[in-house]
Amino acid sequence: MYDTRRLHMFVKTLELGSVTAAADELLFTPSAISQQLKKLEKEVGLSLFQRGRRGIEPTEAGLVLAEHARRVMRQLAAAESDIAELASGRKGSLSIGAFPTVAASFLPLAIDKFKRRYPSVDLLIRSARLNRLVQELEEGGVQLALLWDYPWTPFMREGLTTTEVFRETFVVLVAKDHHLARQDHVHLEQLAEENWVTRGDNHPVVEVIEKSGSQAGFRPRIAMYANDYQETQAMVSVGIGVAIAPRSALVVQHPNVKILGIAVDAPVRRVLLGQREERSLSPLEMAFRSLLMELGPEFSKVVGSQ
C-alpha cells in the first residue's frame, strides 16, 4: 500500500512542475518533499520523475501512478466531506450543483417548491460549467448536480451515476424583422447563407451549431461570440446574425427576437441529475431528487410550448 500523503505530494509536484513549488503550496520544505518522493519511488520500485525542459516531468511509471493517484485523492476528498458532515451533526442542509442555463430557468422552480415543503432546510447552490460540476460531485463539494449531455455524446464518468430529468430541443433565433420571422419553423438548410451569433470560450453550443450545419450541408459563418444568451439575443435582435439555443435558455425572451422551431431533426439536449455511485442518498437528497423528477416533464412541456 502506498502512503497517501506521499501520493498527494507526488501529484502536486507533477502539476506544479517543481519540488519547490509543491513545497510552497503544501507548506513543507523542499527537502521534506524530496525525501518523501524518494521514499515513494522506493515503494514503487521504479523511477517516477525525469528532468525536462519545463521542469520535472513524469516517467511512464509516473504517468500511470499519477492517473491512479488523482482518482484516490478525489475519493479521499469525497470521504472527508461525507465524514465531516456526519461528525458535525449537520442536518437540514443540501448542496446542489447546476450549469448556468438550468440554474437560471428550471432549478429556481424546484427550489421554490422545495423550500415551501422544507422551510428549515439550508440550500447551497453552485453554478458552474460541466467539468467543474463533475469535479464537485467527485470530491463531495455538492451532493447532487444537474448535468447535461447530447445523444451523440452520452455522459459517462466512472464513479458517477445519472438519471434523466427532462429533454429539451434547440430552437433558432432571428430578429423580428428577419425575412424568416413570418414562419414558426425553419429548415436548417434555409440558414446556410446566414451569419451566426453563438456563445464564446469553447461553449458547447458551438458544437451544436457546427454539427447541425454539417448535417444541413453548410459550415456556419460565425459573426460574434457572445458571453451569455441574453447578449446572444440582443445581437440577434439587431441583425448581427441568427442563433441556436436550448429552449430553457429563453425563459426570458428579448422582445425583438422571434423563436423558430427546427422543422426536421432538431438537436436535443438531455438534462441529467448526477450523484456519486457509492454514496447512499440522505432523506433530504431523496426528497429533492423526487421533486426534480416530478417537475422535469412539466418544465419540458412548458418550454416546448413557448
> pLDDT digits over 19-38, tens only?
889 888 889 998 998 888 88
> pLDDT digits over 260-293, tens only?
999 988 999 999 999 999 888 887 888 899 999 9
Mapping DSSP onto H, E and C, the string for 2-32 reads CCHHHHHHHHHHHHHCCHHHHHHHHCCCHHH
For residue 89, the model assigns a pLDDT of 38
For residue 84, pLDDT over 80 is answered with no
Supply the CATH classification number for the domain 167-268: 3.40.190.290
* Local structure of 128: helix, strand or coil: coil
For residue 133, pLDDT over 80 is answered with yes
d(CA 9, CA 30) in angstroms, rounded, equals: 11
For residue 11, pLDDT over 70 is answered with yes
For residue 100, pLDDT over 70 is answered with yes
> pLDDT digits over 136-179, tens only?
999 999 999 999 999 889 999 999 999 999 999 999 999 999 99
For residue 300, the model assigns a pLDDT of 87
Cell numbers 453552485 correspond to 126
d(CA 216, CA 205) in angstroms, rounded, equals: 17
Task: Read off the pLDDT band of 117 (50, 70, 90).
Answer: confident
Lowest-confidence region among 69-83, 153-167, 207-221: 69-83
Cell numbers 507533477 correspond to 14
* Local structure of 16: helix, strand or coil: helix
Least Cα distance to 163 among 251, 288, 305 occurs for 288
Rounded to 5, what percent of the chain is helix, strand, coil? Answer: 45, 25, 30
Question: Which whole-number Å values give the CA distances from 112 to 75, 82, 142, 257, in the listed order?
Answer: 32, 26, 19, 29
Q: What is the pTM of this model?
A: 0.70
Q: Is 167-268 in the same CATH topology as 4-87? A: no
Least Cα distance to 169 among 139, 135, 208, 132 occurs for 208
CA atoms within 13 A on the CB side of 283: 4
- CATH superfamily ID and name for 93-159+273-304: Periplasmic binding protein-like II (3.40.190.10)
For residue 15, the model assigns a pLDDT of 84
The average pLDDT across 68-78 equals: 86
Mean pLDDT, the chain, whole residue set? 89
Question: Which whole-number Å values give the CA distances from 255 to 125, 188, 191, 262, in the listed order?
Answer: 30, 23, 22, 20
For residue 82, the model assigns a pLDDT of 67
Task: Read off the pLDDT band of 88 (50, 70, 90).
Answer: very low
Least Cα distance to 272 among 245, 292, 287, 299 occurs for 292
d(CA 168, CA 150) in angstroms, rounded, equals: 10
For residue 242, the model assigns a pLDDT of 98
- Cell of residue 52, nine digits: 525536462
For residue 55, pLDDT over 60 is answered with yes
> pLDDT digits over 182-207, tens only?
999 999 999 999 999 999 878 889 99
For residue 5, pLDDT over 90 is answered with no
Q: Residue 130: in which H helix or E strand, if any? A: helix 130-139
Read off the DSSP letter of residue 147: E
Number of H-type helices and E-type strands within the chain: 10, 12
- Cell of residue 91, nine digits: 442536518
Supply the CATH classification number for the domain 4-87: 1.10.10.10
d(CA 172, CA 259) in angstroms, rounded, equals: 6
For residue 85, the model assigns a pLDDT of 57
Domain ranges of the chain: 4-87, 93-159+273-304, 167-268
d(CA 241, CA 239) in angstroms, rounded, equals: 5
